[in-house]
């Protein structure tokens, strides 16, 4: 298969589907590091909506679950056109904070 044809097919694969396939092949810890902008002459400007992910705490677990099962989606759901979603994972690189379900809005 020509590279262009393969690349075209891969461009249509969702991130979660690609992650699942890679994980099933035995590569569960794949991350994108050191991202760089494609267009350095453009600026991203908007109101920052920050979701901060903190370590699990037993003393707060009941309150967190009482707030609803989709608490981690609230920032994205409340975002308005022009807002910029910012995810603070506290330096964690062994897991993800978002996928197409949140960032595909």
Calculate the average pLDDT of the chain: 78
Residue whose C-alpha is closest to residue 99's, from 44, 17, 35, 26: 17
Tokens standing for 22? 């890679």
Tokens standing for 77? 């759901």
Give the tens place of pLDDT for each residue, 7-51.
888 778 876 788 788 889 988 777 666 767 788 888 888 999 888
Q: What is the pTM (predicted TM-score) of this model?
A: 0.52
Residue 51 contacts residue 87 (beta carbons within 8 Å): yes
More confident residue, 68 or 52: 52
């Amino acid at each position: 298969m020509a590279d262009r044809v393969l690349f075209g097919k891969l461009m249509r694969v969702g991130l979660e589907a690609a992650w699942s396939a890679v994980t099933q092949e035995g590569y569960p810890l794949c991350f994108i590091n050191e991202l760089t902008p494609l267009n350095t002459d453009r600026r991203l400007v908007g109101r920052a909506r920050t979701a901060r992910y903190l370590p699990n705490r037993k003393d707060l677990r009941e309150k967190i679950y009482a707030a609803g099962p989709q608490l981690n989606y609230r920032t994205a759901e409340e975002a308005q056109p022009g807002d910029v979603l910012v995810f603070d994972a506290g330096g964690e690189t062994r897991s993800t904070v978002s996928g197409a379900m949140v960032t595909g809005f």
